[in-house]
Structure 1
């Protein structure tokens, strides 16, 4: 059976297998070719090709373009022979030939492991694939299946207090919860499903989009209904979208970067600009995961990590807003008035240190790509000197600051992410204030919605609510959504009695969602 017939059979079974060329509507890029270097040779005669004798090179090119299954062609200058092939012509696949052949590889229809120039070269045949370092590879939120495709990486999370309502893909009746879960996991666009006690499975392209919960009813007659027990599940991706900068290295504790000698607040700012936080691991196991990395690279005795009790003396909180029950303190540490945390490189034990006047190297841990960076943003009360665009420019030195208007019930800042995103966390950078007696970082809610104007519980879902002061001025802290929530717009709301909306920057992390299924066409394989 020809290559594309095999792909056709595989694609009929699951989205994460490579799609047969000719099944999909080809993008404009697929109607252009990459010219292989002169003298590359020719494809081995054992490779299946369709040979056409006579004719011009232009006619050969046109013949390939009219065959959706053709991924390249070769033309013999001496014999006027045209060879059409389903196998992508590459220099590595050529063998020496006495004939002068001119080979051309079709753009836009590349498989995993084949050369590429842009993401569109890869994603036509293999959904969830992209061009990474000029080679078609699975996106970082997907894994290779072993059959030439990419599968979503992650797991389902049950969300008992929420209801799915947006982006219904399909329904199946008379099935089991295991079959429903497997069906959703096997579809690229399916990120959530619910399952009712009567065996109805519903698959969705969006997860939690609203805080509104209503009991689902099943009609018994025209006038009588009964409630059904419904369980809802959303897909939790293995990690947020994004590839760390080249300065980050893989460790057992994640992707890490060691900053040169610096203050903790400046270190927090640099980590922020990378889509990272100061390393939040403070127990023995977490610190052991970065011990080798630090031992091989650190030049200072101590290294800043994401731990402090700046907000409340004696109550240590990590950079990802956790109050740890176990901290690997060294002897006689953690009881003084020094508010920031460092790890001793040699012992991997934690010390407290003054935040203001000592400098050490610092350890950043990558979180993901800031999906809000430099996107369009606006405020309910604008201030030309401190505009909304300062809230997602990635800079600590520029701030958002509203004018004090006590008559408003709330002050808001909103960013348009540009497409639906399953938001998993936000990273809040507080502005540096000269007023040390007032912390305005409180009474703050962050919601995610699909309507740019309406953020009530019907049209949006809460990510986090932060009532008490939650971060010190000049510091950054990561807040994970209670459950991942889906939408295009993220709104930061500051409630009364606080009268000023004031912060340096807000980063948004999560996973971009695809909105539409590709259009399906049909075509015959080139070689039978």
Structure 2
């Protein structure tokens, strides 16, 4: 019999599965799970563990069979999806099938030697693995780390040996989870009851709630497309915002106010300051009145005029912070400012008085970088990865792939808008939940109408295949500048697509803030 194709995504594994009642990480959960999903090809092979003076205790024995040869013993195990190992005694041809991998610490002494074997492709936490699906098929929310199964960083290990997602449920207006990620549907009188059901379910990453029918739907995946919510407005969608990876800040950052990390640098021009901060895994200090100013003042970082991460370089008069948010009403300008003196003041500074002033971006000013915990290393790091209109060839690609190439500067005159469009695809190496994207553009002209997508498809970014992180109307992406853009709600996918009109750039750097959901290659929190 040819084994079925491997199942590599949690949502796909659960697509046709009924609600599971057992606690993830337990033998009972695995038995329920394996009754409804297809095993990967590797799970039809056994790994020899050698001879041992220990054997299976009674509570791990799934079945026994006497008078069989050792290959037949292993075949018996492979014929049962709930069998994870064998113990075979050659002296009397006794075969024991095990519900767990035969491993030191869970065996008991034996008077005679036993030959042990373990099933490949299925592993609990702390057990050997070769790929993430070995772990995630048995324990959702786990991955293969240094050859052993472990919980992903955004998941907490449970007493039963499962992995439970962390984080809070936040609104996701205008979108909904994919139908094939539905775990179950149940009655709920209030939205709070539906939220509590999700928080108590180790597989739940999103919910839909209808007050009209008092119905709650739990989903094993977040927002993966942009098809939109129920047009009637009956259903509300909440998605679990997972905690982002942290990691240590760069060595020259200091902690101030108990929660913020800063470093001060010598005077440069504005665009250079934004790029320098991005290279350290941070953004130019935005200057909002959120408690950070007092901490900076106490550390004598505001004893001279400094650049702020606040500019209207995209659209005149529409100031945007370095974290992609629009200017709020709490910002206090110096009298008569901003005045865009002589039409050339698109950036801003913080004076020692605590008031703001708009200045030219070519002015040199000291600056303060604000570390952003959770920025994950870019898969595009240090490589030109822009793809563009129809003259692409694989020979031009830096990695031999037509989707990641750096073409020549486009001509100023083209026949259609489609020919002006550029498309960047970055493989994050695994499925991630993304909450923000840090972009550092290279040399080139500004853009209009830029959209950031997350998709499970390398080729597609249409509404049925990709979720919109953020739409950037106007000329938000600027020549040689860095800015952080927060997604309108957490989105999920492996491939980041950046599609923009009328942009001429030679390269870009991309990093994401988010949490890994599967995959063997984790993006590490570090500088870009």
TM-score by length of 1: 0.63
**Partner of residue 41 from structure 1, selected from 33, 49, 53:** 53
Maintained 8 Å contact 1:42/1:95: yes
Maintained 8 Å contact 1:42/1:74: no
SS at match of 1:41: strand
**Partner of residue 207 from structure 1, selected from 218, 223, 228:** 223
Give the direction of change, closer, same or farther, for the CA distance of 1:46–1:471 in structure 2 (3 Å limit): same
Counterpart for residue 375 of structure 2 = 367
Structure 1: state its 5+ residue gaps. Answer: 1-9, 217-228, 295-299, 341-352, 434-439, 515-528
Give the direction of change, closer, same or farther, for the CA distance of 1:402–1:177 in structure 2 (3 Å limit): farther
Counterpart for residue 448 of structure 1 = 453
SS at match of 1:30: helix
Residue 480 of structure 1: how far off its partner (Å):
1.1
What is the distance in 1 between the residues matched to 2:222 and 2:376? 21
What is the distance in 2 between the residues matched to 1:266 and 1:63? 66
Whether 2:472 is the aligned partner of 1:466: answer: yes
Residue 446 of structure 1: how far off its partner (Å):
0.7
What is the distance in 1 between the residues matched to 2:264 and 2:147? 30
**Partner of residue 481 from structure 1, selected from 478, 487, 491:** 487
Counterpart for residue 432 of structure 1 = 443
What is the distance in 1 between the residues matched to 2:150 and 2:235? 35
Moved more, 121-130 or 316-325: 316-325
Maintained 8 Å contact 2:139/2:162: yes
Maintained 8 Å contact 1:127/1:188: yes
Maintained 8 Å contact 2:470/2:487: yes
Whether 2:24 is the aligned partner of 1:13: answer: no
**Partner of residue 413 from structure 1, selected from 419, 422, 429:** 422
Counterpart for residue 508 of structure 2 = 505
SS at match of 1:90: coil
Give the direction of change, closer, same or farther, for the CA distance of 1:158–1:281 in structure 2 (3 Å limit): same
- What does 1:219-230 align with in structure 2 at a 5 Å threshold? 230=234
Counterpart for residue 490 of structure 1 = 497
Whether 2:39 is the aligned partner of 1:29: answer: no
What is the distance in 1 between the residues matched to 2:114 and 2:307? 61
What is the distance in 2 between the residues matched to 1:454 and 1:137? 32
SS at match of 2:470: strand
Maintained 8 Å contact 1:449/1:461: yes
What is the distance in 2 between the residues matched to 1:271 and 1:35? 52
Maintained 8 Å contact 2:246/2:373: no
Give the direction of change, closer, same or farther, for the CA distance of 1:101–1:354 in structure 2 (3 Å limit): farther
Residue 505 of structure 1: how far off its partner (Å):
1.9
Counterpart for residue 5 of structure 1 = none
Give the direction of change, closer, same or farther, for the CA distance of 1:104–1:457 in structure 2 (3 Å limit): closer
Q: Deviations over 1:265-293 (max 9, x none)?
A: 7886687679x4347586785699999xx
Give the direction of change, closer, same or farther, for the CA distance of 1:168–1:87 in structure 2 (3 Å limit): closer
Maintained 8 Å contact 1:314/1:335: no
What is the distance in 2 between the residues matched to 1:334 and 1:359? 16
Counterpart for residue 521 of structure 1 = none
Maintained 8 Å contact 1:259/1:363: no
**Partner of residue 140 from structure 1, selected from 115, 129, 153:** 153
Residue 51 of structure 1: how far off its partner (Å):
4.9
Maintained 8 Å contact 2:124/2:149: yes
Q: Deviations over 1:499-519 (max 9, x none)?
A: 5433632636456889xxxxx
What is the distance in 1 between the residues matched to 2:515 and 2:310? 32
Task: Give the superposed CA RMSD.
Answer: 5.7
Q: Deviations over 1:425-452 (max 9, x none)?
A: 332212136xxxxxx4353321538799
TM-score by length of 2: 0.63
Residue 250 of structure 1: how far off its partner (Å):
13
**Partner of residue 144 from structure 2, selected from 131, 144, 147:** 131
SS at match of 1:42: strand
What is the distance in 2 between the residues matched to 1:290 and 1:43? 63
Give the direction of change, closer, same or farther, for the CA distance of 1:159–1:336 in structure 2 (3 Å limit): closer
**Partner of residue 237 from structure 2, selected from 227, 233, 237:** 233
Residue 191 of structure 1: how far off its partner (Å):
3.1
What is the distance in 2 between the residues matched to 1:384 and 1:53? 63
**Partner of residue 323 from structure 2, selected from 307, 310, 320:** 320
Maintained 8 Å contact 1:307/1:316: no
- What does 1:254-333 align with in structure 2 at a 5 Å threshold? 276-278=281-283, 307-308=308-309, 319-322=322-325, 323=327, 325=330, 331=352
Structure 2: state its 5+ residue gaps. Answer: 1-17, 333-348, 519-528
**Partner of residue 58 from structure 1, selected from 62, 71, 84:** 71
Counterpart for residue 115 of structure 2 = 102
Q: Deviations over 1:415-473 (max 9, x none)?
A: 5577987653332212136xxxxxx4353321538799998889977543434554653
Maintained 8 Å contact 1:375/1:416: no
Q: How many residues align?
A: 452
Q: Deviations over 1:81-131 (max 9, x none)?
A: 433322322234456666443322222222223333321221121122112
